[in-house]
Amino acid sequence: MELQNRVKFPATASCLDKDGYITEEFIDYQLARVRGGCGLNTPEDCRVHARTASSHNLGIWNDTFIPGMKQLSEAIHAEGGKICVQFDKGGLANWLVAPEKPVFIPSDITFYSRDFKGVDKAMIHEVAESYGSAAARAAKIPLKI
């Protein structure tokens, strides 16, 4: 992939989405970074897993998120930028903002005086499946190499 320069805007949670969906405000925020000279732009971490997804991040856990992602991608390309996606599922950091959601973590841990259980095999498969589906969804978003 060719970029206009070596500047990358790292994933930065903006809280400008609406329940995980791209908004006009979100697009404006990203475009300001492209116009400011970021060759590669990573919108905030994007939740792949419905059960652990908080409402504070972008979502890509089902097909309803694709149109907004396409709109964002096309807007960034029109300004000469490129876009990549960061996949994520809810873990400990997610618990801080969405304590009502289940926490999927690799092993048992005590965090803020609370004991969390590590995932079992079924949960690992559930998460792996959600990453795979998210990748298939992302492949439907226009690419510019």
Ligand X SMILES: Cc1cc2nc3c(=O)[nH]c(=O)nc-3n(C[C@H](O)[C@H](O)[C@H](O)COP(=O)(O)O)c2cc1C
Contacts 24+ apart (CB under 8 A), 109-118: 116/92
135 — alpha (psi -120 to 50), left (phi > 0) or beta? alpha
Report the residue from 22, 38, 41, 45 that binds ligand X according to the rule CB under 6 A.
45
Per CB under 6 A, which region of 11-19, 61-69, 90-98, 104-112 contacts ligand X?
A: 11-19
Per CB under 6 A, which region of 4-12, 69-77, 93-101, 137-145 contacts ligand X?
A: 4-12
Of residues 11 and 60, the one with the C-beta less far from ligand X: 11
Contacting residues for 58 by C-beta, under 8 A, at least 6 apart: 17, 20, 21, 22, 43, 44, 45, 46, 47, 65
Q: Is 10 in the site for ligand X (CB under 6 A)?
A: yes
Q: How far is the CB of 57 from ligand X (least distance, A)?
A: 7
Structure tokens at 60: 């890509």
Binding site for ligand X (CB under 6 A): 10-13, 44-45, 86
